[in-house]
């Protein structure tokens, strides 16, 4: 037993030494490529991001071409727009929006309303309106904390595709499974980012989570639980004089992320349009969208 224990300790030590040597060799090669400069000092943020967002086999490729051009414009712009709309309704048009929805906000041209489904932009613009401080803070913290590093790696076009796929999936799912309820918030897009990210983590768990990374996962899970709890409260325990709000967007956005998002985020060093998984995910998503459109036109109780 003692001999076995010594062998285990020796094996672990050798593995650790191998990992450290690998990192030192990689750093040395990058310094040589950079003409004596230390790119890792300049790219420390990119190194951390690569460990969180990419499996080990493609990290070097990312580090070799990593830069902040273009910067994560999509996530930052969406966040600013959502915050601006929230402040507008909470300050310049006071509707008790600091805490929850009230009748005034329900008349917003952005909110998804079952009585105004013919105004197609509402299936997307509902993401700009939020039901109180805790609602918008949860979404902003989540999408900035996860969206910015995702956009640093995958750039705005791919992240925007996943985000908007979650937003549209959320409103269409709500129109089917909760057809008589209003819908607000960017949770569909946020959950799409999380769904795509967590599928990548699940497939590449040993490579994508550095030491003590479980703490960050627990923080994300805590935010998800809090956000879902608030959504369930708004749906089932709203005061008698309030207006229930659907929560189906959370679930639909997550599924959109686990399909389209996973495919997009796992193709860092590949041509996305040449990946058959992407087209399978798009075909399945399009079929669901077409069914939702058909349901809303011919079968919805809101008609």
Residues known to be catalytic: 187, 250
Cα–Cα distance between 217 and 86 in angstroms, integer?
28
Q: Which residues pair with 245 in a beta bridge?
A: 182
**How many Å from the N-terminal Cα to the C-terminal Cα in the chain?**
74
Dist. CA 119–CA 15, nearest whole Å: 60
Q: List the one residue out of 58, 59, 60 whose CA is nearest residue 270.
A: 58
Only one residue has tokens 């906000």, namely 105
Tokens 């669901």 belong to 288
Residues 6+ apart with CB under 8 A from 124: 164, 167, 168, 171
The Cα 52–Cα 72 span in angstroms is 17
**Spatial distance between the Cα atoms of 51 and 68, rounded to a whole number of angstroms:** 17
Whether residue 70 is preceded by a cis peptide bond, meaning omega within 30 degrees of 0, is: yes
DSSP one-letter string for 10-31: HHHHHHHHHHHHHHHHHHHHHH
CA torsion 240→243→246→250, rounded to 10°?
-100
Tell me the C-alpha distance between 222 and 217, whole Å: 9
């Amino acid at each position: 037993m003692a001999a076995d224990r010594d062998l285990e300790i020796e094996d672990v030590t050798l593995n650790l030494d191998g990992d450290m040597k690998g990192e030192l060799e990689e750093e040395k090669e990058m310094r040589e490529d950079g003409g004596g400069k230390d790119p890792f000092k300049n790219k420390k943020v990119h190194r951390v991001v690569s460990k969180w967002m990419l499996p080990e086999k493609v990290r070097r490729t990312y580090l070799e071409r990593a830069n902040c051009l273009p910067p994560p414009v999509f996530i930052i712009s969406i966040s600013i727009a959502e915050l601006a709309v929230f402040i507008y309704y909470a300050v310049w048009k006071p509707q008790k929006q600091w805490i929850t929805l009230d009748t005034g906000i329900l008349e917003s041209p952005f909110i998804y309303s079952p009585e105004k489904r013919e105004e197609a932009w509402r299936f997307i613009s509902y993401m700009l309106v939020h039901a109180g401080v805790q609602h918008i803070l949860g979404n902003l913290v989540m999408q900035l904390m996860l969206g910015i590093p995702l956009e640093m790696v995958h750039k705005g076009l791919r992240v925007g595709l996943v985000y908007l796929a979650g937003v549209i999936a959320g409103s269409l799912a709500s129109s089917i499974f909760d057809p008589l309820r209003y819908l607000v918030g960017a949770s569909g897009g946020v959950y799409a980012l999380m769904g795509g990210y967590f599928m990548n983590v699940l497939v590449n768990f040993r490579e994508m989570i550095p030491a003590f990374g479980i703490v960050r996962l627990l923080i994300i899970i805590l935010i998800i639980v809090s956000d879902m709890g608030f959504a369930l409260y708004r749906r089932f325990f709203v005061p008698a004089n309030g207006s229930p709000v659907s929560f189906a967007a959370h679930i639909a956005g997550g599924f959109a992320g686990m399909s389209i998002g996973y495919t997009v985020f796992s193709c860092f060093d590949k041509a996305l349009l040449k990946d058959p998984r992407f087209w399978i995910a798009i075909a399945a998503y399009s079929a669901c969208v077409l069914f939702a459109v058909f349901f809303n036109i011919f079968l919805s109780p809101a008609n």
